[in-house]
Amino acid sequence: MTYNETEILIKKYLNGETTAEEEKLLAREVAREDVPDDWKVIAGMLGELTIDEALFDQMMAERKSKPRIMRLWPWVAAACVAAILIVFLGPPREETITEPQIAKVDPKAKTVEVKGTEPKAIEPKEQNISQVTARPRQPHKANRRANVSKRIAKEEIPTPRPVEESDIVPFEDSRMQFAEQARSLRERGNRVIQRVSMNGLPSNNYQLNDL
């Protein structure tokens, strides 16, 4: 409290307008050493009981506030250690989430699936022909493609067996799953390249060859 604030509180006290709490505050101020004589008179009027009560309450408040700060540190430290342990020693997130959802498809079913899907992409003859007529810049290539598609359509394509739930085997390891998927993609690409080269078309897809 400043000097002026204390003076205001003294006036309030003499007018009988102070509360018990304000009188305690005033008691703490006027009980200090080296205060003006008027303040000493006020201290005498407030009496030992009020001054000691104010000092008692102040000491108890200080005691209560100190241990709280000290006791918080172990909890903060424990929380930090727990957070670090969770971040660095916890299980990887990928395994826990992806493992039960991803399934491995039986290789037999896959070959059937590949055979079944490929012709579908090439099947529409009329559409290709119309594309050929619409593109005057590459007439030779377009005609060749149309011939190839005609030949493929003539081949007998076995009806694909639908994939059943029993065919789906879950992977135990995500790395194995990735390797298997990469391998199947590579095989599919090779088959496409082989088929295209068999049909007399050059394979310009170097990305597939690299795989």
7 binds another protein (CB under 8 A): no
Residues 49 to 68 in contact with another protein, rule: CB under 8 A: 49-53, 55-60, 63
* Closest by Cα among 100, 117, 94, 105 to 175: 94
40 binds another protein (CB under 8 A): yes
Q: Which position has the token pair 């879950």?
A: 170
CA dihedral 68, 69, 75, 77 (to 10 degrees): -170
44 binds another protein (CB under 8 A): yes
Pair 177, 102: CB distance under 8 Å: yes
CA dihedral 102, 205, 153, 135 (to 10 degrees): 120
Could you say which of 5, 22, 32, 77 contacts another protein (CB under 8 A)? 32
34 binds another protein (CB under 8 A): no
Candidates 30-38, 84-92, 131-139, 176-184; binding stretch for another protein (CB under 8 A): 30-38
Candidates 25-33, 147-155, 166-174, 190-198; binding stretch for another protein (CB under 8 A): 25-33
State the Cα angle at 45 between 40 and 50, rounded to 5°: 100
132 binds another protein (CB under 8 A): no
CB of 21 to another protein, least distance (A): 10
| Longest distance between any two alpha carbons in the chain, whole Å | 120
CB of 70 to another protein, least distance (A): 13
CA distance 192 to 30: 99
Using CB under 8 A, list all residues that contact another protein. 13-17, 19-20, 28, 31-33, 37-38, 40-53, 55-60, 63
